[in-house]
Structure 1
């Protein structure tokens, strides 16, 4: 592995350790949610956080990537640029949050959650805080301060987990008299059993509020300025990124919004559409093993790709990065899919949630191709042709909407999963094809597709293995065999790994 690739791997590790450990702590809340809340209640969390994902993109409107691009230009005045973009985000976030607060009642009625306006109020503040701190986080990444970035993110996640446990477990159990009944008068002013899943949102808000003191130095290290003459260049570069982000959210989140509306009533016997949404949302969480790797990679890769844009050896480095990224994700795809029999009961506590496990391998593979897309999309970012990203994302959005419309009434949440897979595969393939024209990179695509094809066949064949103890053993054995084959065949030759001294 080249020195530059090792540098990227090292940065990915720093971002990834905190992200993976922190997100895994957050992921451990899934057994709590699926044990404490019915699928219909968890469907509320699934749907509202899907809307949050869209609004997070709108509130930042591509300014993080624009900041990276303009800050890396020769002679860039980074402090001035930071002040300009941070001021812009501060103003737009306050306006956006205010608009939501002024319309909470009609929004709650439109979403079929009348009387739950408090959920939307808390989420509005969550979104605003996320947007305001997005640029300080981008600055930490640009300056290579991965440890502080990772530490702040990790503390936020730990706080969210701790507060959720406090409200959903401790306060609820004390209120019900399971233990420490003498504390009931103390928690009575701060706990209401009627709020239910609302404590998921409240815990998130309180944890996000901690960003302000932890990033106080970065948040106050700027002069408020709105130089409107400097906005058009930022907007011109950033709005395609925003459109790509929105399209990405459509591809990832739209099914969680549309499922309860497009699913025929009674499609799943004995379950409401809201419950089906909760099941789909919980099973989607099992693809987090893939999402964690992609997220950690993205944090380190974007500034890395920009910093290496002028290196003549960058195409070889980019190809090497994609190869090992894809192989690592392939191991996760195979490992999780072959071991769902024992993984799922640990995480999805109620049996009703495990009825949707068939979507997990599909979603894992879909997220793998999303990661491939992030890799091969480097060409249009480095050549300032971000409009191609918009075209690809819009095409993916059209495909997602169309396939969801056609498949949800026929296949339910399996149809939604297949739509996601088709979308991400198509986007990755089209982006790779266009990249060969504008910025050729020697990606070993044929070889990588063989490994992915072998994984798909392995998982499909495993589906015919009858239930029983031998199925558990075989799943782990096949995972180890696949990993061993990858390492044996793909490891660099000895001559490439050993430096011979004269």
Structure 2
């Protein structure tokens, strides 16, 4: 039980490392919606970030998860860090060289202005080079250091953006060297923040450069399915914005504006994103460190139940407060797709459940199952978007994301029963999900619509529903809570 306690302590710290930077990122989103000319430009930035996510997945090619897998193997522990680091460094340098050599063809195929790409390329490179240093902090159980640097990175991102958007243009001697295009200016500021962060954590690159070819081949073998799964995950996360731009039956400018409106609504789901990500950051190293424990299956089941129980409460609480949160994320007057917010929140709840269920193939070196599951979901996402975007617009994009993560969750559970049985309390898990999701949908689409946005009646009924939901969950889990308290005393 001590390991479970440590897991939740680390998850709490990782939660702070995720929540606090995201709160600062809220300011960044607000800055973009305030200082970019409009929805069209915000949509263009969103599309560029979609490509950045794809590039990050390809350039890390599953090496982060492979690092955690072999870091816990006594035979390879000493050389895991340096082998992963050398591998990523070499491929990243190759990427930068090729990307600048073929800048114009890349610009033409992605429809991203070459002016932006010349700054985006080093942003992608630095993101990749920081993967192993941050992974090592997690593996060495240094969540506080991880949290501090992650928060500093976002402070720098917000600070440099404010500096480039508001302060520097006021100095003629400096302004003459700055581009007038606000999108290009933003990516210069973003690159500056990443560069400073990399300098702070690059110490690992000055330690050992030992390279174990045998270990490297094993890491590649373990990691390539993670790459496929990562690409499929990126499809579920970002391809909808690219497809919206291409398949909406309107002009390119109107399509980019719609992408901006959709992205603003998508980002309002930040609450569940934070919850799922914090859990993943704490759970992933824990899965591997506990894989040899005879009680590991029971611990995995407890973690999943805890995630679902807390997740449905967090889901409803966030929906209750989302109208108060909106002005913090999006500038006044910026059109936002509010109707998709509950759907995206539920999608991220499903994604978090899938992450906890994925333990069975990660610890058994069967990562190709993860690639298959993610690929099936990616096909579903692409198919639904291509077929239905012309008729339903971004509503189908939100629904497709939710359906994809729900399918991944279901398939992973069904396959785990055959390959690595874990004593999940399925009845409780399904009951919590149905209760939380049902309450969320009823409140947002009926109570909020019937009694009005931000009215006393809406918040009164919502607060009562939240207390009832939390009370039911706590009552059902009273035995587990009592056991945990008793173990600590």
> Normalising to structure 1: TM-score of the pair?
0.90
Shift in Å, 1:52: 0.5
Match of 1:48 in 2: 48
Tell me the distance in 1 between the aligned counterparts of 2:41 and 2:299: 47
In 1, are the aligned partners of 2:80 and 2:215 still within 8 Å (CA)?
no
Q: Do residues 220 (structure 1) and 206 (structure 2) align?
A: yes
Deviations 1:279-318 (A, max 9, x none): 1111111111111122222222111100100111111111
- Structure 2 unmatched runs, 5+: none
Match of 1:178 in 2: none
In 2, are the aligned partners of 1:339 and 1:476 still within 8 Å (CA)?
no
Match of 1:303 in 2: 285
Match of 1:251 among 228, 231, 236: 236
Shift in Å, 1:88: 1.3
SS in 2 for 1:492: helix
Match of 2:469 among 457, 469, 482: 482
In 2, are the aligned partners of 1:133 and 1:219 still within 8 Å (CA)?
no
Deviations 1:105-140 (A, max 9, x none): 232233334xx3131111110111111221122122
Match of 1:66 in 2: 66
User: Which stretch of the first structure deviates more once superposed, 446-455 or 204-213?
Assistant: 446-455
In 2, are the aligned partners of 1:323 and 1:444 still within 8 Å (CA)?
yes
Match of 1:196 in 2: 182
SS in 2 for 1:41: helix
Tell me the distance in 2 between the aligned counterparts of 1:27 and 1:451: 30
Tell me the distance in 2 between the aligned counterparts of 1:451 and 1:187: 57
Match of 1:393 among 364, 374, 393: 374
- Number of matched residues? 482
Deviations 1:313-371 (A, max 9, x none): 111111111111112221222122233333324432244422x1111100000011111
Task: Provide the aligned C-alpha RMSD in A.
Answer: 2.2
Match of 1:179 in 2: none
Distance 1:144 1:109, change over 3 A: same
Distance 1:382 1:107, change over 3 A: same
Match of 1:375 among 343, 356, 359: 356
SS in 2 for 1:197: helix
Match of 1:180 in 2: none
Q: Do residues 233 (structure 1) and 218 (structure 2) align?
A: yes
Tell me the distance in 2 between the aligned counterparts of 1:151 and 1:170: 26
User: Which stretch of the first structure deviates more once superposed, 30-39 or 416-425?
Assistant: 30-39
Deviations 1:51-80 (A, max 9, x none): 00011011111111112212211333x332
Match of 2:411 in 1: 430
Match of 1:343 in 2: 325
Tell me the distance in 1 between the aligned counterparts of 2:349 and 2:438: 16
Shift in Å, 1:495: 5.2
User: Which stretch of the first structure deviates more once superposed, 336-345 or 32-41?
Assistant: 336-345
Tell me the distance in 1 between the aligned counterparts of 2:481 and 2:51: 51
SS in 2 for 1:440: coil
Tell me the distance in 1 between the aligned counterparts of 2:451 and 2:480: 40
Tell me the distance in 2 between the aligned counterparts of 1:75 and 1:224: 15
In 1, are the aligned partners of 2:320 and 2:462 still within 8 Å (CA)?
yes
Shift in Å, 1:237: 0.7
Deviations 1:413-437 (A, max 9, x none): 1100111111100111010011011
Shift in Å, 1:472: 3.6
SS in 2 for 1:441: coil
Tell me the distance in 2 between the aligned counterparts of 1:443 and 1:235: 32
Tell me the distance in 2 between the aligned counterparts of 1:216 and 1:132: 9
SS in 2 for 1:28: helix
SS in 2 for 1:265: coil
SS in 2 for 1:353: coil
Match of 2:435 in 1: 454
Q: Do residues 135 (structure 1) and 132 (structure 2) align?
A: yes
Match of 2:275 among 279, 293, 311: 293
Shift in Å, 1:102: 1.6
Tell me the distance in 1 between the aligned counterparts of 2:333 and 2:351: 30
- Structure 1 unmatched runs, 5+: 175-183
Shift in Å, 1:197: 2.2
SS in 1 for 2:479: coil
Match of 1:3 in 2: 2
In 2, are the aligned partners of 1:380 and 1:388 still within 8 Å (CA)?
yes
Match of 2:451 among 466, 469, 488: 466
Match of 1:313 in 2: 295
SS in 2 for 1:210: helix
Tell me the distance in 2 between the aligned counterparts of 1:230 and 1:5: 30
Match of 1:18 in 2: 17
Distance 1:117 1:422, change over 3 A: same
Q: Do residues 357 (structure 1) and 356 (structure 2) align?
A: no
